[in-house]
Structure 1
Amino acid sequence: MAGWVLCMAMMLATLAGVVGETRYEKFLRQHVDYPRTSVVMAHRYCETMLARRQVTAPGRPCKPSNTFVHETEGELVAACSQMPDTAGVHSTRKTMSITACRLRGRDNRTPCVYRARQLQHHVRVNCINGLPVHLAGTHEPPQ
């Protein structure tokens, strides 16, 4: 019984920390991994990072996709100073190293299994008060 209480207390404390974060802090937690984290099993990068960053968790549906950007916070903040498109989305000037994680199959129940792709893309973000708060997508550089 004491183990269950301790487990619940730790889970609630963890969730309290996530709940108190700003939208910018949430953006950083979910999307910025600079420098790219080395994981023991490279083919499990997405599963490892999404669990570590509390994007996925047992009992919650798997997120269909998530992108990790392997550049500094400053590079992404700089995108907010770029002229937005007609939808109000800002794009980075340069391409960035990213890992695009896509859920394998249609089952969104845990355990979540992802396919990882390493790409060089421009990153599109929504900004509030000069800070990125939502990753709106990525796009390839023009050929």
Structure 2
Amino acid sequence: MRVPMGSWALFTALVLAVLAGAVGESRYGKFLRQHVDHPRTPVLAAHRYCETMLARRRVTAPGRPCKPSNTFVHTPAEDLVAACSQTPDAEGVHSTPTPMSLTACRLRGRNTQPPCTYRALQLQHHVRVACLDGLPVHLAGTHAPPQ
């Protein structure tokens, strides 16, 4: 039995579309990839944590400008999901009720072209997240606990 060429093209296009949807990253998945590192990943050179993790997690990539800053939270994802049940502030952002261990990565210097080098700060801060359908999808910032 011979199948018309147009049918194969349509079939191939449909399969590719389904596969693209299956491997597509959700906003929550992207949030986890870019911001959650629990437990904190040990790296051979501790002072290279940010460069290593940003490359490993595909936050920075060759040929793309360096991201000015990125924060990795070293707590289970469930704790950040729980923040979405907290009352949002006036901007619609939710804060974690307790401070969390995190690494704040800040680009060194003003050059945004690779190679990217970062300064890492270890902090205990509250984490602010924007949520969608009860899941964190954007890390909106952090703030120190009141003294």
Q: Per the shorter chain, which TM-score range?
A: 0.7 to 0.9
Query: 1:20 & 1:51 partners in 2: Cα distance?
Result: 20
- Which position in structure 1 is the counterpart of 2:26? 22
Counterpart AA for 1:63? K
- Which position in structure 2 is the counterpart of 1:5? none
Determine what percentage of the aligned residue pairs are the same residue.
77
- Which position in structure 1 is the counterpart of 2:123? 119
- Which position in structure 1 is the counterpart of 2:76? 72
Query: 1:20 & 1:137 partners in 2: Cα distance?
Result: 26
- Which position in structure 2 is the counterpart of 1:45? 49
Would you say how many aligned residue pairs link Structure 1 and Structure 2?
127
The DSSP-based 3-state class of the residue aligned with 2:43 is: coil
Instruction: Give the CA deviation at 1:30.
Output: 0.1
1:139 aligns with 2:125: no
1:96 aligns with 2:100: yes
- Which position in structure 2 is the counterpart of 1:84? 88
The DSSP-based 3-state class of the residue aligned with 1:97 is: strand
The DSSP-based 3-state class of the residue aligned with 2:136 is: strand
Question: 1:55-105, CA deviations, whole angstroms, 9 ceiling, x for partnerless residues?
Answer: 001100000000000000100000000000000000001100000000000
The DSSP-based 3-state class of the residue aligned with 1:47 is: helix
Runs of 5+ unmatched residues, structure 1: 1-15
The DSSP-based 3-state class of the residue aligned with 2:54 is: helix
Query: 1:70 & 1:32 partners in 2: Cα distance?
Result: 6
- Which position in structure 1 is the counterpart of 2:113? 109
Counterpart AA for 1:99? T
Query: 1:127 & 1:23 partners in 2: Cα distance?
Result: 10
- Which position in structure 2 is the counterpart of 1:8? none
TM-score of the aligned structures, taking structure 1 as reference length: 0.87
TM-score of the aligned structures, taking structure 2 as reference length: 0.85
Query: 1:109 & 1:40 partners in 2: Cα distance?
Result: 24
Counterpart AA for 2:65? P
Counterpart AA for 1:93? P
1:58 aligns with 2:49: no
